[in-house]
Structure 1
Amino acid sequence: MHYKFIKAFFPALIIIICNVALAQTTPTFSFTTPTGTIRTCAGIASANYQQFTVSGRNLTGDIKLVIPPVTYVNNNSTQATTQQAWEMTTTPNNLSTFGYTLNIHPVNGQVDNVTIYVRMGADNLFPQWPASITISTDGADASQTVYITGTQVPLAVVDAVNQTICNNTSTQKMVFTGTGTGYSWTNDKPEIGLAASGTGDIPPFVGTNSTSEPLRANITVTPLGECTGTPHIFHITVNPTLQPSLNVSADKTILCPGEVATFTAIPLNVGDLPIYKWLVNGQTTGGNSISGDNTLTFVTDKLKDGDQVTCTVTGSTYCYMPYTSTPITIKTAPLPEIHFSSNNYNIYPSQSVTLLSIANTDITSYSWKPTTGLNHADIPNPTASPAVTTTYQLTATEAGGCTATANVTVTVLPKLKINLDIPNTFTPNGDGVHDTWEIPKLADFPQSTIKVYTRYGSLIYQSVGYTKSWDGTYQNQKLVTGTYYYVIDLKIDEPLFSGFVYILR
């Protein structure tokens, strides 16, 4: 090293140091091998530690310690998750100081044997993976890693099976399975016949229930061991003894063949989730098709005379013998049969006809449809005078309520030019030839009226319909030879027919 002095024109003196080679020192740090044992229960931060010391020389900054997080992918997800599984501090008595990073400040460029305490975190899901603590400082050649290991003991687990029993019956022995070295349990309902608490397996006991509802006890069992497990709750249910009943009614008990009947059951004291079974003559199969099982309603059209319908209820969660309702006995009435003397009647406009129905049994009511053109719609033989061709349906009901129907058609013929071919002479002399006044075509007009008068207007003959031809008499006395006058009304909205007839003896 040499110095060069330069005199300046100014009062100040400037010294320039040339070619100076200053000695430089590299920051260094070191750590000791970790000692100690970490052992803890799952879900609990360890109370013991592994520890090591850190020292440093020629430091220009902090010694930095970092525990990197664990990154993993859950089986049910494709998204990576990070977790801080280990924690460290220099002051273990202050639990709030544990963390994942730590900075050690040098004093005059030095750190002397600072102790680092490392514990396993409560949320460590992968205790088999050691903690890798990275140590570094500014200016050092490279970072270094300290590895910390520990043991996590799984919590003891327990499994127990729910039981449901009837009042005054015994449970099965409850054997707890799992990883616990022992078990303790509590019971929130000692009134079922089990103590309020105990240890070990639960031996069989006789359950009791003096109420009308199921009695469910919550049994909390805790697995014991080096690491006491999470309590597990299971149930023992004691069902009461009930006296069930069923009141079954039917919308009708007298049926027509093939008629639908509906049966309804009203239950009492059957408990939760009862099972219903409808029976016909004590059977669920056979000639009758049973529908509506496990419901309170049974609908069928398959019943026969003398069939008996019952309903049986069985408890699924309550304890009682199956109960069967009182039978309902069915009676069936025969179907009536009905027909007409003729299924088709012909009339002309304005004419009428009597519809003659015939039944094979006593009928209590009649109903005609349509009612148009009928003088009565509730009698067996109404008079029909429809304006157009009409088909009538008769519904006949017998005493048991069974019905039958039949159809009859009244055909209204078109209006025609009518020629009665009325003879103007007949000879009632007993010779068997033309002895009566024959008008055959009047047979088509049963409501027609025929009247015969003398030349002086005296009525000597009349009839409704012309089923018997006139023989030329009046009050059983023979009329004399002569001319007589007639008026015929066909009662079909046609003009009157009138003229003369000559009696020749």
Structure 2
Amino acid sequence: MCNLLKVLLSSFLVFLSTITFSQQVCNGALGDPVININFGSGTSNFAAPLSTANTNYLYVQDSPDDGEYTIAKSTNGMHNQIGNGWHQIPNHTPNDPNGYMMVVNASENPGIFYQTNISGLCPGTTYEFAAWIINLLNYSGKKPNITFTIETTAGAPVGKYNTNDIEDGPTPKWIQYATTFTTTNQTDLVLKISNSGPGGIGNDIALDDITFRACGPIITSSVNNVPSNISVCEGNSGNYALAANITASTYVDAVYQWQSLTGNIWTDIPGQNTTQTTVNLTGAAIGSYQYRLITAERQNINSVNCRVASDPLTITVTAKFNTIASNNSPTCIGSSVQLSATEGTTFKWTGPNGFTSTDKNPIISNTQFDMAGDYTVTATLNGCASTSTTTLVVLEPFLTTSFTSVETCENNPITLFASGGISYKWLPSESLSSSEIANPIANPKETTTYTVTASNGICSETATVKVIILKNAVADAGADLKALNGYSVILNGKVTGDDVSYFWTPNDYLDDPTKLNPKATPPFDITYTLHAQSNAGCLNSTDDVLVKVYPKIVIPNSFSPNGDGINDYWTIPATEAFTNTRVKITNRYGNLVYQSNGVYKPWDGKFEGKDLPSAVYYYTVYFNEDFETYSGWIFLTR
């Protein structure tokens, strides 16, 4: 689109004799656009600036101020004060959210803010110029007053069209301004758009979709004498008469050409050069076929810039269709049956006992056995008739259901059973594989009563089934225990489940292995296993507990390191069971005389290799975190 905005500078002066310029829209047929300036489209919020040949305003990628413009998708964020700013609007181009528009903030000095060259015009041809403009102010301010001027490339004035004041207000409104003019011998002109008032508080506009198109006579077209588009059925298409009535023509030597649309391109139909023609669509594929008549002065008929076209005539070949008949049976005697057809605009139903209906989905009320049987429908769509299709209505007596209570182990899914319906609804649904089938798989965590509603479409019946959950046997031997040799501990066994038995292994040093809380008196470390067994056939379970047995702690309070081989060392027998014993011995003044960390080394009554005198000494002994630190006195005698 940027190429359309470039000014085509002429190197010679075109002589202008006379051009008539009227302030009105074209009342006849229009041609394809000579120019269509919509400022392009893109992914970014702002487009590149226009050529300096198009405008002398200053380009910004922001909210334009006086004498500035931008090319943007919308005015969102531009002077967006509520009641004292601009309307927040998108561009005008239909069906193009990525399209751009020119946003103009008028200069303090009125003048031209946009211009472009128009080339390829035909002499003696009427053209319509049109542009869409919106006053951006959302409050009362200076009113834009836009003047469109057409000149020769040499600058000679041709004519002007003025919009007068474009009103502002709380509601934004795009307005199309259009006018027509007729050339004599000119092919190149210049369009100039200027703002007649100064900028300041107001006089701000957006401009979009500028078009120049040839304007011709009024053309009224028809197909098979029908002044509108028509549809035909696949396989029934044939010859179609196209006709165009031309009125108010100003052409001196008018010629005509019928065209058909191929893809997006209008193509001449060879030899079809009158206002009437015939097209043959025998065997045509499904789809739309479009035709139009173009007309112009004889010398201009081959120029797309100089001819006009009728509105397209469309012949739509519609696919054959088949409506599908159905109903909601089987259902109960005495209830209603809904017949249904899938497609069509008109319908004709027939059935048993002289049944007829023209409804799409008729209802048979208060059904009886003699109303069962085949029902047939024929439909039409876009004038095409479908083949007849049939649906069988089945009437049944009320259904029956039966259920019983069932038992199952925890986490052991069980299949529920229902029959007699064509649809089912189970509640609650959370623990079911499906809530809408006859035989869902249930896996509840707790005993649950399920309700099922079985239905054949109209009749329904509700029943219940109770699923009793037998809990699995679960053993809990409790936390590990600690004991001193010769002492007893109580095992803290627990079991859960339905109909559970239990016992301990091994049974060594237990007062009763069949109790949950037996007394254990082991002489050494031992692991006991609690067995929980489900008498209902559910899962069994085991759990272990360790009883850690420590030796009995005896700390002597005297020894005699005199070298006679008897009681020469202060020995603590229990330290053999500990790997990180910490022993400290002090004299009565608190001075450290002996220390052992790790594997205990018996004390020989010496300090720094010398015998200590007979006296009372004081000790602390740390075995591990399971025991408090022991303290006391020792009598050393020699």
Same fold (TM over 0.5): no
- The TM-score range, normalised by the shorter chain, is 0.3 to 0.5
With the length of structure 1 as denominator, give the TM-score of the two structures.
0.38
With the length of structure 2 as denominator, give the TM-score of the two structures.
0.31
Larger Rg: 1
